[in-house]
Each structure stands twice: as C-alpha cells, then as structure tokens.
Amino acid sequence: MATHATVEAHDTNDEFNPFLSQQEGFNTAADHLGLEGGVRDVLSMPDRELTVNVPVLMDDGSVQVFTGYRVQHNTLRGPSKGGIRFSPDVNLDEVRALAAWMTWKCSVVNVPFGGGKGGVICDPRSMSIGEQERLTRRYTAAILDIIGPDRDVPAPDMNTNDQTMAWIMDTYSMHERKTTTAVVTGKPLSIGGSRGRREATGRGVMISANEALKMVGLRPEDTRVVVQGAGNVGGLGAMLLHREGYKIISISDMYGAINNERGLDMPAVLSHLKTNRTLEGYGEAEYVPKGEGQLEQECELLVPAATENQITSANCDRIKARLIVEGANGPTTAIASKALSERGVTIVPDILANAGGVTVSYFEWVQDRMGYFWTEEIVNSRLEQIMVQAFQEVRQTSEKHRVDLRTAAYILSIDRVASVYRMRGLFS
C-alpha cells in the first residue's frame, strides 16, 4: 500500500485547525475521483513555504521584529495568487490552508492561477500608518525573490487594503528598477487597479446566493438574511443583496450585531458604519454586543463573511438557516459542514461563493499586463458570467457524484489541476 506524504500540522486533533479542515475536504474529493497516490501527494502539499523575520523601526525609536509567512501551494495552472493578512492570529497552518483553498478557488472558476497566501503576525490597530508602511515594505523585501507577475501575485486580505498593495507594488518596482503594476492586485485605480475590484467578493456572494435560491425554490423577497461581517465581503455583499430585494435582518462587525426583523436599510447602515467605524449606535435596530447568537437567528439565508471557524460542532445544531453562502474563507468546520449537510442545509462553499474577488483580481492582472482597462460594466458582466458558469458546473458535478456542493466544488477543481499535472508530466 502506498504511503501518502503529508505536511505536519499543529494540533492534529483540533477541529479548528484550518489546514486539517482543508485536507479533509481535499481527501474526500480525491477519494471520489479515485486520485492516484502520487498525484494526490503532489496536490496535497505546498510547493513552497517561506518564513521571514521582519525588523521594523517603530515610532518610538525601538526596533520590533515581526514574523511573516508566504506559502505557495501550487503553480501548475499559473502564478500563485492570494492575499496578505496582518493579524495577531496569523499562523503557518492558517496560511497553508488559505493557500490551498486559493488553488481550488482559482480552479473552480477556471482562472489560470495557482494558490498562494501570506501573513504577518502583528496588530495593525495598534500601529501607526508609518509603522504599517515600514512593516509592509520590509516584509515585501523579505519575500521579493518569490513574488512577481509570473510567479506569485499578492492581494489584500484581512487588515490590508489598496494602500498596502500600493506600498508592495512600489517596493517591488524600486528593486526591479521599473514600474511593475501586475505584481499585486487590489491596487488603487490610479496605479493599475481594476474597476469593480472592491465590490467583487461581495458581488460574487450575491451571484452565488441568486443561483442557490433557484436550487432551493426561494425568491429574494421571501428571503431573510443574516450576515456576519460588515467589511468588503459582508457589508458590500449585504448591500448588493439588499438591492436584489433580499431582507437583511442582521449584520455584525467585530464589536457587535444589529438586528431588525422588518429589514435593515443597508445604505443607511453602511453610511453609519463609515462615519462611526462601528455598528453600535445605529438607531433603527437592536444592538447586541459581541453579536451573541447572531448565527443562530431564524432566517432563510446565512452569510458568514468574517473569518474562519464560526460555524462549529458547538453551534451547528442551533443553525436555523435553510441556505448558507460562505463569504469568508473556512467559516464552517469540516465536522459542522457534514452535520449541516446531513440535516439538509444547502451550503455554497467558500471556494465557490467568495471566488468573485480572485476572479476580478485576474481581470486586474490581465488589464495591467496589456495596459488596457475595462469599464465597470464590463468587469461586472464578465464576473457574473464566470460565477454563474462555475456554479452550474459545481451543481452538475454534485448531481453526477451525488455529493454536496462543497465536495462537488473540490472534485471539479482538483480534477482540473490533476489533469494539468498529468498533461505536463513530472520534470526530473
């Protein structure tokens, strides 16, 4: 019997280890495909993992050293693609899992990228803009040898944004001695960003919800929605769902949730959030500190769009939604996902539902490389075309293999990458 290679993960019995959760999804799909041992080993392991220690001059004159990571999971279909997050909770297992999920995400929507991910262990809320810039530039310099338009293309993620990407692009360009806009995506429009990129992940969530409603026989106007997260994915996704006629009855940020059974006025909610930087104080809703019980509210559609490990074995039996569209990466643990599917809850998995961001990142990369930029209408139209096609392909795979949508998405994406591996062959 063949012995499959593995990547060591910490807390190997921990439900909340995202790398192990990703591996379980991979292995389930690989079993359905009958994936041969050698190919399974190649696709389950990252191509490269880089750990860097980044010294930064702080505003008070001291020097602080931050640990950062960049993981490139797979480059068979094209350059690595994936965000960079700044958070105290960043760890290597998380970055590994997110890099792998990016491989499957790019494959499921059939864009020519592989998966990558980066992160730095820091608390940007306690850092000045100057400290964040120096950290970003020094981290970029540390990973410079493995990134580039044809190697690995970073993007914004948790606690990073278009300004962060501008610093990365400038640092890379200074070392290359030429302006290289295609090294990152999610940039400001003035330096090669794409129209529609900021809303892209939320728009992908909305498109996925529309397609999923057709599956379960619901209409937007009859659909109450609970959204966890109020950033570019949750907040903008909720706004787009609101425009489609859905009734948003709850939304949360990192501090708490606001609830209104009659439906929230999302333009007013986001205006309040922009002004006050918190949902607290919004007058037309009940405020719940820490958002306790939000995910367990009565609703037809639940959109977890904050962070991973929010729906777990501890609360999945209290989830009342008929449909879950995963806006965040890994918001549902493998144990919870299986339990919910057995109860008949339809889950549109993260590697499909939140692929709008990487799809428009691909558009941005293409536009940068050809020096010609599209209108927002063209970007949104092409995004919808790709997302709808991907959803239908996942649904067809689900029906063919008689599996849930998550397993189907893995089957579709893994099969595409495995086919490329077999076609290219093994260099030796």
Half-sphere exposure of 395 (CA within 13 A, CB side): 15
Give the integer Cα–Cα distance in Å for 342 and 335: 11
Q: Which two tokens stand for residue 67?
A: 């640990």
What are the CA-CA distances from residue 93 to residues 31, 226, 314, 322, 427 (Å)?
A: 23, 29, 22, 31, 28
- Out of 81, 117, 187, 338, the active site residue is 117
In a 10 Å sphere around its CB, with 0-12 CB exposed, 13-18 middle and 19+ buried, how is residue 10 labelled? exposed
Query: Residue 221 — φ and ψ, nearest 5°?
Result: -70, -15
Give the integer Cα–Cα distance in Å for 194 and 357: 11
Give the integer Cα–Cα distance in Å for 290 and 54: 33
What are the CA-CA distances from residue 229 to residues 79, 99, 122, 362, 428 (Å)?
A: 30, 22, 21, 25, 47
H/E element, 252: strand 247-252
Give the integer Cα–Cα distance in Å for 90 and 108: 26
Query: Residue 55 — φ and ψ, nearest 5°?
Result: -80, 135
Asked if 274 is an active-site residue, the reply is no
10 Å Cβ neighbour count for 176?
A: 12
Find all residues with CB under 8 Å of 145, minimum gap 6, and list them: none
10 Å Cβ neighbour count for 265?
A: 16
What are the CA-CA distances from residue 314 to residues 266, 297, 319 (Å)?
A: 30, 15, 10
Nearest C-alpha neighbor of 360 from the set 383, 387, 389? 383
* H helix and E strand count, the chain: 13, 12
DSSP states of 56-102 as a string? EE-TTS-EEEEEEEEEE---SSSSEEEEEEEETT--HHHHHHHHHHH
Answer yes or no: are the C-beta atoms of 352 and 409 closer than 8 Å: yes
What are the residue numbers of the active site?
117
